[in-house]
Structure 1
Amino acid sequence: MMVVLERESLEPALVRTRHFKLPITLTAVVVLLGLLFALSPVTGQSVFRIGDGTSVALDDVRLPSAATTWVVWTIIVLLTAWTWVDAGLYRRPRLWLPIVYALLAVFAFLTWAAQDGGVVPVAGTLAGALSLSVPLVYGALAGVIGERGGVVNIAIEGQLLLGAFAAVLLSSVTHSPFVGLIGAMIGGVLVAFVLAAFSIRYLVDQIIVGVVLNVLVSGLTGFLYGALLAPNEAALNSAATFDKWPIPLLADIPVLGPVLFNQTFIVYLMYVIVALVSWGLYRTRWGLRLRSVGEHPQAADTVGIRVNPTRFWNVLLAGAIAGAGGAYFTLVSVPQFTKDMTAGLGFIALAAVIFGGWNPIRATLAALLFGFATNLQNLLTVLKTPIPSEFMLMLPYVVTILAVAGFAGQIKSPAADGKPYIKA
């Protein structure tokens, strides 16, 4: 009698996962917006001021507040339902959907806030959001470079703060904002050097080193401010700042022209750095080696890549970029240094790294989102909304928490991120 044995398949079983974080987050937001619109009825008209002072005159857009708010809210309800259907059918979240959802939700919220003839200056709001986002973008890029190489850069806050201090000091002494910018980059490199030395060379826990450095820089700059800058404010704490350089033709583009192309040198430098890091990380030998030591350092070592030196120099590069972001505080925003003036933005930049999936472009977009949320609290104060002022101060951090809670579980950090490499 012949017995036929069925051969077991050697193919691995396909594991299907439902992604519920995004629909849960969007549902929470849409419920909160619905309650807000229902408990505070919308009346009158909302005005969106499109004109921006360029040669092209654009009329204000006037919308019926109640009808516009509820129509847009209905659309985002349908988008939320779409995410639940995708989750039920084991589909991965669509990238465009949360972006469209966020734009519509913000539009509905601003329409509600500007009811009864309130005016939303579109160009001014975007310009303010970009201004507040610049240090976040620099910090996020520094975080991406560090963590792509396997080093968690918790010390972004300290790099921003020491960069701001060095920039105002050197710019005040030399009366040159460019010297201040170079000094800020050196300040960021100094913090990064300590981080790299202790975490890579001496194998100290990277998180602990980063936290200690933030506290150390905060105390050091606070002491130097009181002992050095405050008594000599005119000579040492009065920086020469960057002026705006409008780019011909591009600065005359309606709405976006003045926002993007009538900026200072540091903002234009940010555009260049974002482009270079985004291209270099995926298109050059530098980027390949950086990603290899962050994903699989043992394999990188076997093909001749020096893992720890590669990590070390890239942490210093990240520190220089973060230091340049710190220079924005004292060479563009205000010409003076104050104690702890970065106000925790380094940690928000780190959240942008996670939210952006350790990708330079996405991390930049996340930083712009958080900058917009920070600027939104100023706009809502001007519009005199009934929202308590305490919530206004919480708004950027609430947006950060919602963003990271809703998306961080769907992405993976570099495999060797935060893990020291000991050569066998």
Structure 2
Amino acid sequence: MSDVLNATVVAGVPLLLAALGGVIAQRSGVLNIGLEGLMLLGAWVSAWAAATFGGELAGFWFALLFGAAFGLLLGWITVGLRGDQVVVGIAFNILALGATSYLFDVLIRRGGLEAMSVPRGSITQRIPGLAAIPGIGVLADQHWMAYMTYLCVPVIWYLMFRTGIGVRLRACGEYAEGAQATGVNVLRVRLAAMTVSGILGGLAGAYMILADIRLFLHDVVRGRGYIAIAIVILGRWNPAGGAVAAVIFGASYALGFQLQARDIPVAGELLLALPYIVTILAIAVSGRKVLPPREEGRPLYLFK
């Protein structure tokens, strides 16, 4: 039981981080399809920085900074230049995959290696007392980035629904013209939202490297950015709902790995595809029952 729960947390945390970034972007009216590319770039940069500078904190900060830069770039192209948000996001994902694959081949495979390893640091941080509780104690024995993610959920929820910042953010996603008329700078709000979304997407990729597999492999993200978008929808554009959905998808990853490890007489490829099957079924069942922010994906011509 504890193994499954631990695997659920490890698989669910990067999905939740990326989904929180998606919630912030979409609540502002921007459909951030580029979460997959942001995660992939965050994974690469964190692995390179940790291997180069010998510490996971370097990987964390590099992923944060690069995520912010690329999130802002995506925001400027889609909002400032009014690029099609779906096309730009997909193109960015393809570009990120190509760039990381090229760097992987040039820097790693030509050196005779198959992966870029990350030095081992303080993998987990134990919370005294809670870690000793049978069954759920594993939740208190996780990497420090997992605790950071736990904390992000209530903080983002509070900022989004209980502060003026959240009111302006949601106004930009629901009625941008009205928000602009009341003095809200829609361009600035959306660029800020995309920057934060980029940070969370980059850190999601960094978590996979620094807290889980400890090395960079070709296409290590493998569709998790797209699953994060599904989590945003299933969570009804709410950080708390996203956390619940992330647990479900994390459990599907954990179940697939556990069944594969136990030599269940089912094709391994089918077990690894379990999270994507769950994604399709979940969207098919609940997708029609929820409505996105009114302005999501719509280009605006408010900016000079």
TM-score range, shorter chain: over 0.9
Quote the sequence identity (%).
33
The equivalent of 1:407 in structure 2 is 286
The equivalent of 1:248 in structure 2 is 128
Say yes or no: does 1:172 pair with 2:43: no
Counterparts of 2:82 and 2:55, CA distance in 1: 40
The answer to whether the 8 Å contact 1:136/1:367 transfers is yes
Question: What SS does the corresponding residue of 1:162 show, helix, strand or coil?
Answer: helix
Say yes or no: does 1:365 pair with 2:244: yes
Deviation at 1:384, TM superposition (A): 4.0
The answer to whether the 8 Å contact 2:257/2:272 transfers is no
The equivalent of 1:80 in structure 2 is none
The equivalent of 1:54 in structure 2 is none
Q: Deviations over 1:244-288 (max 9, x none)?
A: 111111111221112x11011110111111121111110111111
The answer to whether the 8 Å contact 2:116/2:217 transfers is no
Counterparts of 2:111 and 2:32, CA distance in 1: 34
Counterpart selection for 2:260 from 381, 385, 389: 381
Counterparts of 1:231 and 1:132, CA distance in 2: 31
Listed as ranges, the matches of 1:4-403 within 5 Å are 122-231=1-110, 237-241=116-120, 242-258=122-138, 260-403=139-282
For 2:132, the aligned partner's letter is D
The answer to whether the 8 Å contact 1:135/1:326 transfers is yes
Question: What SS does the corresponding residue of 2:25 show, helix, strand or coil?
Answer: helix
For 2:129, the aligned partner's letter is L
Equivalent pairs counted in the alignment come to: 301
For 2:131, the aligned partner's letter is A
Misfit runs of 4+, over 6 Å: none
Q: Deviations over 1:289-341 (max 9, x none)?
A: 11010000111111110001110011001100111111012112122211110
For 1:391, the aligned partner's letter is L
The answer to whether the 8 Å contact 1:230/1:237 transfers is no
For 1:226, the aligned partner's letter is D
Deviation at 1:192, TM superposition (A): 1.3
Deviation at 1:233, TM superposition (A): 8.0
The answer to whether the 8 Å contact 1:150/1:311 transfers is yes
The structure whose RCO (Cα within 8 Å, separation 6+) is larger is 2
Unaligned runs of 5+ in 2: none
Deviation at 1:172, TM superposition (A): 1.1
The answer to whether the 8 Å contact 1:356/1:366 transfers is yes
Moved more, 386-395 or 329-338: 386-395
Question: What SS does the corresponding residue of 1:419 show, helix, strand or coil?
Answer: coil
The answer to whether the 8 Å contact 1:155/1:191 transfers is no
Counterparts of 2:155 and 2:112, CA distance in 1: 37
Counterparts of 1:383 and 1:333, CA distance in 2: 20
Unaligned runs of 5+ in 1: 1-121
Deviation at 1:237, TM superposition (A): 3.0
The answer to whether the 8 Å contact 2:36/2:93 transfers is yes
For 1:182, the aligned partner's letter is W
Moved more, 374-383 or 340-349: 374-383
For 1:191, the aligned partner's letter is F
The equivalent of 1:416 in structure 2 is 295
Deviation at 1:382, TM superposition (A): 3.7
For 1:221, the aligned partner's letter is T
Counterparts of 2:271 and 2:131, CA distance in 1: 32
Counterparts of 2:248 and 2:293, CA distance in 1: 23
Bigger proportion of residues as helix: 2
Q: Deviations over 1:360-383 (max 9, x none)?
A: 111121111111111111222344
Counterparts of 1:200 and 1:154, CA distance in 2: 13
Report the aligned-residue RMSD.
Answer: 1.7
Question: What SS does the corresponding residue of 2:66 show, helix, strand or coil?
Answer: helix
Q: Deviations over 1:8-30 (max 9, x none)?
A: xxxxxxxxxxxxxxxxxxxxxxx
Question: What SS does the corresponding residue of 1:301 show, helix, strand or coil?
Answer: helix
Deviation at 1:194, TM superposition (A): 2.2
Q: 1:375 to 1:361 in 2, by over 3 A?
A: same
Q: 1:233 to 1:129 in 2, by over 3 A?
A: farther
Moved more, 393-402 or 293-302: 393-402
TM (norm. structure 1) is 0.68
